[in-house]
Structures are given as C-alpha cells and as structure tokens.
Amino acid sequence: MLSVAESRGLADPGLRAAIEDLRGLVAGNLGPVEILRLEAVTWRDSSLGCSQPEMFYAQVLTAGLWLVLAHQGQEYDYRVVGERAVRCVQGDTSEPLERQPVPGIWTRLAGLPTPRGEVAAAELNGKIYVLGGFGAGATANEEYDIAAGTWRTRAPIPRGVDHPAAVAVGGKIYLIGGFNGRWAPLAGVWAYEPEGDTWTQKAGLPTPRGALGAAVVDGKIYAIGGVSATGDVGTTEVYDPATDSWSARSPMPSVRDHIAVAESQGMIYVAGGRFGSFARNLDGNQAYDPRTDTWAELAPLPTPRSGNTAAAAAGRIFVLGGESTDGTFDANEAYDPGNNTWTAMPPMPTARHGLAAVALNNRVYVLAGGPRVGGSVSSLNEVFILLPGTSQ
C-alpha cells in the first residue's frame, strides 16, 4: 500500500501521471493506494492493449508499463508510456507480447533538515536517526518519523564526526568511530537514548577508525574495516553492550574502507569499498559468520564502488550508490544469499555517495549523501518500495 506522501513523490513521471488521474477521479480525496500489478511490457501496437472501437493504431511494438491500482475496493487499469498514463476503461483488451514484473519503485519523501554527506543512520521503533556528516552536519542528530513523514531535531552528538557507523540495539542507537572532520580516525562510541534524548559515552573502539561498517547479531555490535591511523584495515571487533567491552575477532580477508555492510539471518555481509582511494574500488563481497568467527568469499559485486551503502530487505542485501573516478553511482544491486547471485534493481533517482540506508516494512530508505564525488552534500530521502514478488 502506498501512502499519500509516497504516491505524490513517485520518481517515475508516468506513474505520477496515473496517480494524478486517479486523484481527479475521486475529486482529490485520494488516500492510500495499492499496486495490484506493475509489469514492464511490450504491446503489439500503439493501442497499448486497450483498443477503442473505430480507432486505428500504428502497428509498432510499444514498450511501457502495465499498472493496476486499487482504491477503496475498486480497480483502475493504466497503461504507461514515458510520462503518459492512459486509463483502460473498456473490455476490448489484449495481452502484451512480453511482460516482466517490476521488483520495486522509487519515491521521494520529506528531506533532511540538514543537508549532509558521509553520514550514518539506524532505525529504532519506527523512527530513523541520521547522524553526523560533513560540515554543518557533524553534530546533527535528526529523527524521521516514518508513520508521520516528519523530521525533528534531537540532542546533538557530543562530538562532531563524519564517516561513522551506527546501529540500533537494546533500545539505544550506537554511534561508532568515524573521523574528526580532519580525517583523523576516532575511537569514540556513544549511545543515544531517544526516550530521554540523551547521549552516554561508552568504551571506545580498540582500533580507532573511520569509513567503517557495523552490524548487530544476537545483541552484539560488530565493527568492521575502515581507515585507521596506519591506513586501511580489515579489523573486526565486537562490542557487548551488557559488559561495555570490546574484543577482537577474525579480520576481513581483504582490507578496505568506505564499505557497505548489512546483516541478514545472523550473517554479516560486506560489499564493495576501496583500498586507499576511489581510484582503487573493489568488487569484494564477503560474509562473516559470528557463530564460527569465519569469513567466506561470495559472488563479487557487479559494479565495483566505494562510499556505497547497504540494507537487508525481503531476504536480499540491497547495495546502493557509491563513487569512483568517473563520478557517483545510481546503482541498486540486490544480492540473494540463497543462490549467491546478484540482480540489477531499478536505479536510484539521484546518484550519490556517502549516503546511508535503512530498511523497514519492505522499504529501503536511502538518506543524504553527496551527488558529486568528494565533499558534496544533500538532504535527500529517497525510498525504494519493494513490490509483491520481490520477497523470498
């Protein structure tokens, strides 16, 4: 089901045109809308499979989308080509020559109050916290209420930081490592309690580093990779909130920084990253099993990139964005742990790096990040909505 805000922010102009047509039919009082069908199709002619009596159509194969919406128990059949949406209202229809389900669609929601890049983010109790970043965002702690679609500013981070990692566990948000604004790695670990809007300093990283990744398994936080005072590391260290203590685990097989990290079914996945600079991007895709303290090599990331992000949804790991010497990426590639394969997904509306991703309720929220290589910033809040059939 698409919320009103999600419907209004749809990135595809043809889908937006269908929503606007439907809004006109219901006199503007359009609430949530359900997508019953969305397929990429090829029609036999310019009638789009919905010919009208006494009309003649060009006999040319026409590619587009077949969209069926449901609103208050009634279905609406749309044929979308480019920026145009045509509602099919009579029964003389024909099947397309080719059809392929669309796995998901992009929409844009309310943007961050503070534009920034090189951020971290985590979700807790239906709210997303975007933390740190370049410039004015170094101490920013902004909370997005998913249900309300609104932002509010919370207690600032006690120390400015960019390139940190963040996770949620035990009712708290943990902010881990990062740089101090001048590329010096930090050991700092801070716990944020949303209920009291307070920060508490915790035991620091044994290996100070920025541009790292982190994930939670069984209530413990795993901090992986990044840039230390001596350069790139594959260091893996685990934090136990119950004892406020860190211990070393087996390092990544390949040292790298600016990595994308996500957890799924008790496994931690690390994709992409770089060695030293984005001129040396990597396609590495490795999985860490905390139960056995072992690493495994997996099918490589199709698009080598760094400054990317990742989130787990619908049984897959979605790896998004990044940068290279050629610019920023809009890539959205999904890894399936079940068969060790990658699938290209609909690309992000806005290419960027230094972004963060959070998944909840078959949606991947992709936040902030720079549209240009280096220290650029944005306030973007773009969301990939997974459609039925994407789940495993």
Give pLDDT tens digits for 85-115.
Answer: 999 987 677 889 999 999 999 999 999 999 9
85 and 223 share one domain: no
C-alpha–C-alpha distance, residues 120 and 24, integer Å: 40
169 and 294 share one domain: yes
pTM as predicted: 0.96
Region 135-143 average pLDDT:
95
Strands (E), 33-81: 34-43, 62-71, 74-81
C-alpha–C-alpha distance, residues 37 and 385, integer Å: 14
Q: Is residue 392 part of a domain?
A: no
Distance set, CA 147 to CA 6, 28, 195 (Å): 11, 22, 18
* DSSP code, position 304: -
One DSSP character per residue, 224-260 reads: E--EETTEE---EEEEETTTTEEEEEPPPSS--BS-E
Region 271-285 average pLDDT:
97
Q: Which among 36, 70, 102 is the end of a domain? A: 102
28 and 131 share one domain: no
Confirm if 238 and 222 have CB atoms less than 8 A apart: yes
pLDDT of residue 392: 40
207 and 272 share one domain: yes
Q: Is residue 221 part of a domain?
A: yes
Q: Is residue 391 part of a domain?
A: no
181 and 311 share one domain: yes
In the chain, the percentage of residues whose pLDDT exceeds 70 is 98
52 and 153 share one domain: no
Q: Is residue 72 part of a domain?
A: yes
Q: What is the mean pLDDT of the chain?
A: 95
Q: 207-261: per-residue pLDDT in tens?
A: 999 999 999 999 999 999 999 999 999 999 999 999 999 999 999 999 999 999 9
Which domain CATH number covers 254?
2.120.10.80
Q: Find how far residue 312's CA is from the centre of its chain.
A: 9
DSSP run (H or E) holding 23: helix 13-25
pLDDT of residue 391: 44
Q: Which among 43, 71, 102 is the end of a domain? A: 102
Q: Which of 91-95, 182-186, 351-355, 380-384 has the lowest mean pLDDT?
A: 91-95
Q: Is residue 175 part of a domain?
A: yes
Distance set, CA 217 to CA 97, 316, 335 (Å): 46, 17, 19
88 and 168 share one domain: no
C-alpha–C-alpha distance, residues 157 and 119, integer Å: 12
Q: Which among 85, 102, 119 is the end of a domain? A: 102
29 and 168 share one domain: no
316 and 355 share one domain: yes
71 and 114 share one domain: no
Strand, coil or helix: 19? helix
Query: How many domains is the chain built from?
Result: 2
Q: 279-288: per-residue pLDDT in tens?
A: 999 999 999 9
Q: Is residue 210 part of a domain?
A: yes
Residue 360 forms beta bridges with which residues? Answer: 363
Identify the band that residue 121 occupies on the pLDDT scale cut at 50, 70 and 90.
Answer: very high
Q: Which domain holds residue 18?
A: 4-102
Q: How many CB atoms lie within 10 A of CB 91?
A: 6
* DSSP code, position 185: B
Confirm if 40 and 73 have CB atoms less than 8 A apart: no
In the chain, the percentage of residues whose pLDDT exceeds 90 is 90
74 and 158 share one domain: no
48 and 190 share one domain: no
DSSP run (H or E) holding 346: none
Q: 348-363: per-residue pLDDT in tens?
A: 999 999 999 999 999 9
The answer, yes or no, to whether residue 53 has pLDDT greater than 80, is: no
CA dihedral angle for residue 156, residue 126, residue 214, residue 160, rounded to 10 degrees: -10
Identify the band that residue 389 occupies on the pLDDT scale cut at 50, 70 and 90.
Answer: low
Q: Which of 104, 84, 112 is nearest to 21 (CA)?
A: 84
The answer, yes or no, to whether residue 330 has pLDDT greater than 80, is: yes
Confirm if 380 and 352 have CB atoms less than 8 A apart: yes
Q: 298-315: per-residue pLDDT in tens?
A: 999 999 999 999 999 999
